[in-house]
């Protein structure tokens, strides 16, 4: 994205090269991501059984934490529900625990209304990076489409992410239909985050008045860094009360679009694209659930799993070229 303005000659721009300075620690963190002790915790074992119900209705056998642990194992190791059931049974057997194993039907049913805590709500203002990507639904694989062509129209959903630029953690995630515009999901993302904002950085798809209004309503002093479209004009109050968008248009006119990107901090938006890439490499580029309520739970579980992986260790880079 930083060289999109030079698309016609970007092949001549050399790629940056970096060296990881904390490789031993990062290598250990990568190995820990596959450890069962990271995902099957002692807290989950202690709270495996559901608390007695005080209201009318049937008594659940498994707590929300137990179901969330099972669905997390399914997401991290890319398993079907029946294979997840078998994995949990083997773990409990190896640990010598006399606990019941939730069957695949129970996991599927509880995923529709599973209560999960908010991902993170810090006290300090954060620099929010927002972007969206597509996740495919169940359908023909890439090889089948390339070899024989897809006979049916492939369906997909749009994933909207808000990440912390400093830590890389996902602070809010929304799953919508593929025909929903990006700017219309800013308010749900901000509501899902719920904390103070230092800056809001997004691409040109979010160049809308309601996006500026939504950010200002929650953090009036937050900087909104969104590139105006090429045909953008100044507002009617440019002389009396210029807006942040007016300042962006003036800066682009004075320093060029590349100069504005460096001065405004817009280049930090590349970090959220790295988060999207990490999602598709670690979690996958598709959704396994068959209904929208289960897919929303699947997305939340995946975001929490990626945040947990980041806490195990992150690489520290040093630019070499």
- Tracing tokens 């999207």 back to the chain, one arrives at 276
Domain that holds residue 279: 126-287
CATH number at residue 220: 3.30.420
Q: Do 300 and 219 belong together in one domain? A: no
Is residue 108 included in any domain, yes or no?
yes
Rounded Cα gap, residues 73 and 85, in angstroms: 10
pLDDT of residue 5: 60
**Which tokens sit at 188?**
């749900």
Length of the chain in terms of residues written: 321
Res 42: pLDDT: 87
Number of structural domains the chain divides into: 2
Q: How far is Cα of residue 265 from the mean position of the Cα atoms in its chain?
A: 21
Do 26 and 61 fall into the same domain? yes
Edge-to-edge strand order for the sheet containing 156-164? 170-177, 156-164, 126-136, 197-201, 223-225
CA 11 to chain CA mean position, Å: 30
**pLDDT tens track for 267-301:** 999 999 999 999 999 999 999 998 999 999 999 99
> What whole-number distance in Å separates Cα of residue 86 and Cα of residue 90?
6
What pLDDT digit, counting tens, does each position of 200-234 carry?
A: 999 999 999 999 999 999 999 999 999 998 888 89
Please check whether residues 273 and 310 belong to one and the same domain. Answer: no
Whether residues 153 and 266 share a domain: the answer is yes
Cβ 172 vs Cβ 118: under 8 Å: no
Q: Give the least confident one: 17-26, 119-128, 142-151, 186-195.
A: 142-151
Same domain as 146, residue 95: no
- DSSP secondary structure letters along 13-64: SPPP-EEES-HHHHHHHHHHTT-HHHHS-HHHHHT-BPPPP-SSSPPPSB-H
Q: Give percent above pLDDT 70 in the chain.
A: 91
**Do 164 and 278 fall within a single domain?**
yes
Q: 231 with 298, same domain?
A: no
Task: Residue 180: name the closest of 209, 201, 159 by CA.
Answer: 159
């Amino acid at each position: 994205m930083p060289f999109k303005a030079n698309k016609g000659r970007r092949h001549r721009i050399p790629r940056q090269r970096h060296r990881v300075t904390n490789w031993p620690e990062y290598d250990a963190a990568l190995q820990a991501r596959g450890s069962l002790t990271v995902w099957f915790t002692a807290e989950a074992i202690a709270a495996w059984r559901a608390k007695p119900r005080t209201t009318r209705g049937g008594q659940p056998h498994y707590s929300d934490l137990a179901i969330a642990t099972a669905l997390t194992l399914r997401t991290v190791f890319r398993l079907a529900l029946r294979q997840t059931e078998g994995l949990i049974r083997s773990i409990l057997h190896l640990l010598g625990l006399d606990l019941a194993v939730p069957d695949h039907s129970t996991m599927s049913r509880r995923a529709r209304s599973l209560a999960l805590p908010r991902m993170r709500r810090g006290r300090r203002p954060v620099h929010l990076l927002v972007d969206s990507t597509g996740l495919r639904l169940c359908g023909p694989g890439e090889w089948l489409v390339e070899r024989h062509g897809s006979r049916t129209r492939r369906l997909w959903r749009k994933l909207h992410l808000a990440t912390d630029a400093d830590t890389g953690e996902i602070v809010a995630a929304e799953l919508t239909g593929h025909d929903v515009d990006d700017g219309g999901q800013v308010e749900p993302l901000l509501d899902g985050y719920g904390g103070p904002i230092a800056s809001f950085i997004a691409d040109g798809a979010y160049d809308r008045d309601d996006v500026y209004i939504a950010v200002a309503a929650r953090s009036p002093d937050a900087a909104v860094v969104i590139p105006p479209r090429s045909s953008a004009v100044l507002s009617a109050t440019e002389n009396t009360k210029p807006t942040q968008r007016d300042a962006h248009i003036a800066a682009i006119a004075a320093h060029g679009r590349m100069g504005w990107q460096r001065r405004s901090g817009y280049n930090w938006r590349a970090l959220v694209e790295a988060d999207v890439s990490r999602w598709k490499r670690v979690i996958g580029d598709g959704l396994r659930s068959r209904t929208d309520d289960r897919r929303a739970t699947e997305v939340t579980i995946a975001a929490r799993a990626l945040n947990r992986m980041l806490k195990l260790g992150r690489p520290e880079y040093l630019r070499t070229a």
